[in-house]
């Protein structure tokens, strides 16, 4: 029987980067889209309970190559959620102030408060991905002479995630895994369709030359930074409908495991007061 859990990466294991299509046991597209729609509505219900309980928060990390569908995933899976209860943070190039801080600073201040769902569209993992691929120009100067700055950053990331977990923030780490060919097709679509052209830049196209380096780097990052408490979910994402299905089921399962309960009236007397 199909389960989204088959895409959870065991800590220390190497991801199957080549597995970008739905597995053979996956539901068909119509069934998958129905399951996703139902899950999205249940996620919205659970978010209301999460807010009322005020004991936990949920942080969804969406990491992937350009064109992997981070924005589309948010729309399809979290679309029904009350906008007041979900906060999406898209990390762009660091500002001067952010560059003057440690690399996790801007992530920490964007972490979701209890009662809310936070989504990081691109994440602090960029600092061991794109920064590593282009270390000659992106790595801070004070680290350029350090022998292996990435090992230290892995440690700092895992400590940071441990800190969030200890503060009752559940974390879902998602890698949207697409193939080189699928990215090319999506970029071609952006070239042709006027309402998508703003999404495509010259830098996006030039970055495709580094695809093999990115895949090698992702393989190391995913295998080195997954833990029992916070494993990576490696989602085959060439088919958007399957990507949405897996992510929706994972988020719903996490909210169910939190099982948020409204605390009831703060003052029991209010339940028996006459309301005129």
Q: CB under 8 Å to 123, separation ≥6 — which residues? A: 61, 62, 63, 91, 107
pLDDT score of 64 more than 90:
yes
Mean pLDDT of 40-56: 97
Asked if residue 51 belongs to a domain, the reply is: yes
The C-alpha atoms of residue 162 and residue 83 are separated, in whole angstroms, by 27
Asked if residue 250 belongs to a domain, the reply is: yes
Nearest by Cα to 15 from 228, 229, 224, 211? 224
What is the tally of structural domains in the chain?
A: 1
The reply to whether the predicted model has a pTM over 0.85 is yes
Kindly report, residue by residue over 212-227, the tens digit of the pLDDT.
999 999 999 999 999 9
Asked if residue 276 belongs to a domain, the reply is: no
The pLDDT > 90 percentage for the chain reads 87
Asked if residue 198 belongs to a domain, the reply is: yes
pLDDT band at 265 (very low <50, low <70, confident <90, very high): confident
For residues 29 and 188, the answer to whether their CB atoms sit within 8 Å is: no
Asked if residue 33 belongs to a domain, the reply is: yes
The C-alpha atoms of residue 136 and residue 133 are separated, in whole angstroms, by 8
Asked if residue 270 belongs to a domain, the reply is: no
Give residue 167's domain range.
4-260
Structure tokens belonging to residue 132: 């590593």
CATH code of 67's domain: 3.40.50.300
Asked if residue 268 belongs to a domain, the reply is: no
Asked if residue 237 belongs to a domain, the reply is: yes
- Sheet bearing 117-121, strands edge to edge: 8-9, 232-236, 169-177, 57-64, 117-121, 86-90
């Amino acid at each position: 029987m199909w389960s989204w859990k088959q895409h959870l990466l065991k800590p220390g294991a190497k991801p199957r980067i080549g597995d970008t299509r739905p597995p053979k046991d996956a539901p068909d597209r119509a069934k998958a889209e129905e399951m996703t729609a139902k899950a999205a509505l249940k996620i919205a219900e659970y978010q209301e309970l999460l807010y009322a309980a005020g004991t936990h928060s949920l942080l969804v990390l969406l990491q992937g190559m350009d064109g992997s569908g981070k924005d589309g995933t948010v729309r399809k899976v979290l679309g029904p959620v009350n906008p007041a209860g979900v906060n999406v943070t898209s990390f762009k190039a660091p500002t001067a102030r952010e560059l003057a801080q440690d690399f996790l600073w801007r992530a920490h201040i964007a972490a979701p408060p209890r009662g809310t769902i936070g989504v990081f569209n691109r994440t602090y993992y960029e600092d061991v991905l794109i920064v590593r691929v282009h270390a000659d120009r992106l790595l801070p100067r004070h680290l350029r002479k350090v022998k292996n700055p990435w090992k230290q950053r892995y440690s700092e990331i895992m400590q940071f995630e441990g800190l969030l977990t200890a503060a009752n923030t559940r974390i879902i780490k998602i890698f949207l895994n697409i193939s080189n060919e699928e990215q090319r097709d999506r970029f071609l679509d952006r070239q042709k369709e006027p309402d998508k052209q703003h999404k495509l830049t010259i830098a996006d196209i030039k970055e495709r030359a580094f695809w093999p380096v990115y895949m090698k780097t992702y393989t190391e990052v995913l295998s080195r930074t997954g833990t029992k408490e916070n494993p990576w979910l490696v989602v085959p994402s060439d088919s958007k409908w399957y990507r949405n299905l897996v992510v929706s089921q994972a988020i719903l399962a996490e909210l169910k495991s939190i099982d948020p309960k409204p605390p009831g009236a703060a003052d029991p007397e209010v339940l028996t007061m006459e309301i005129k």
